[in-house]
Structure 1
Amino acid sequence: MVTTPELDLDHLRSWIGREEQQSELLTPMIVQRLLATLDREGPTENGAIAPLLVHHCLCQFPAPTAALGPDGHPPRGGFLPPIPLPRRMWAGGELAFKSDAKVGDVITRNSVIDDVTLKHGRSGRLCFVTITHRFSSAGRELISERQDIVYRDISPSRPGASSSLPAAPEGSEQSSISMSAERLFRYSALTFNSHRIHYDVPYATGEEGYPGLVVHGPLQAMLLAQYAQDLQGPALRRFRFRSHSPVFGGGALLMNAHKVDGGLDLWTASPDGPIAMQARAEW
């Protein structure tokens, strides 16, 4: 029988306003490794414009391995509130691009907890933490990002079950990329993300009940943002995204796009699967 942990929302909301700062040099090697991970090409010399969303590879808090929880996440109760619900996911977010990050920049991330809210869904309690990250370099504002993290109870049903959801439509533009275990592992390493659902098959299937490795939400967001740029050019002004259902490694990830006024609607899906992530790119 699964026990339900107590959740003191007033205590958790005392984390609102808590701040954290980290800085890191965006080296040519980081960009080279990211491009290799995504099988893309691009400039990597100092002064070159860096790939979109490369900042997710930077300024990650260096939690000691011995301090990681059983799911691979850093301990809660430091910058992030100590939410007792066992499952954690990146639910979505929104990015406003102010100026280009460039190779050779020292990037600084200033983060603040904006909100902690509790909702109830079909799978039980959902606790949302909203964080604002501001990335800058030498006083130059680069990116403002809202990040929505959701914590949830252990679902009584398998979290990968999505047979009741309709298959995703095909976009007027579509591209495919393999979500191999190697690509997922490399992205986890680049982003210093030790969440075991992305690289540990026995844990993902046996402990969390997924049918395979889970494709990272931020990886899907990065792929969609870069796909939008490939289709419609640089100077992306705003990008927002929301996760709808998990998508799993070992096969293809389809990236779809459709032109709308002011930008592109985009979404990911596995072949014959439901929409995994929806996004809107605006110029």
Structure 2
Amino acid sequence: MSTFQVAVGDTLETRSFAADSVQLFLYNAAIWNPHRIHYDLPYTRETEGHPQLLIDGPLQGDWLTQMVEEWLGTHGVLTAFAYSNRMAAYLGDVLTGAGQVTECEGQSATLSLTLNNQNNQTTTVATARVRFQARP
């Protein structure tokens, strides 16, 4: 049997994300989020005072879970995930996801993840816990 070998300090492949207005609209429709800052630009600017449509916090969390799932492949499962948005991300921003193994214990590991905008400002931080599965 072979196992997926990881060590503290291992990194996930970085990945860039850039939402468009259609993705924002569809994502918010799918999660039943009626907040207009994600799809109504005049409202967003005039009423809320933002320069552009906002990229949802939950969408950013979903992007980070996608990174973990792609890294794991068939070698394990995501068992816990928590994220926190640190600053607004706007339509037109390119967010780069990065991750690193911070702890290994038996068949489990903890990952630290971030999304940074094109100005290298952190918009979202997250922690993921994964469990590895032996494959024949």
TM-score with structure 1 setting the length:
0.38
Partner residue in 1 for 2:64: 224
Root mean square deviation of aligned Cα: 1.6
Q: Which runs of 5+ in 2 are unaligned?
A: 1-10, 104-108, 131-136
Pick the structure with more helix per residue: 2
**Which AA in structure 1 matches 2:118?**
P
Would you say the 8 A contact 1:180–1:251 is kept in 2? no
Call closer, same or farther: CA 1:221–1:175 in 2, change over 3 Å: same
Q: Deviations over 1:156-209 (max 9, x none)?
A: xxxxxxxxxxxxxxx763101221111111101111211000001111111111
Give, in whole Å, the separation in 2 of the partners of 1:273 and 1:195: 27
**Which AA in structure 1 matches 2:88?**
P
**Which AA in structure 2 matches 1:237?**
T
Would you say the 8 A contact 1:181–1:250 is kept in 2? no
Shift of the alpha carbon at 1:244? Answer: 0.7
The answer as to 2:116 corresponding to 1:269 is yes
Partner residue in 2 for 1:209: 49
Shift of the alpha carbon at 1:269? Answer: 2.1
Call closer, same or farther: CA 1:226–1:244 in 2, change over 3 Å: same
**Which AA in structure 2 matches 1:191?**
I
In the alignment, which of 37, 62, 71 is matched to residue 197 of structure 1? Answer: 37
**Which AA in structure 1 matches 2:112?**
D
**Which AA in structure 2 matches 1:252?**
V
In the alignment, which of 80, 85, 88 is matched to residue 246 of structure 1? Answer: 88
The answer as to 2:19 corresponding to 1:179 is yes
**Which AA in structure 1 matches 2:123?**
A
1:41-52 superposed matches below 5 A:
none
1:1-283 superposed matches below 5 A:
173-233=13-73, 234-261=76-103, 262-283=109-130
**Which AA in structure 1 matches 2:34?**
S
Q: Which runs of 5+ in 1 are unaligned?
A: 1-170
Identity of aligned residues (%): 30
**Structure number with larger C-alpha Rg:** 1
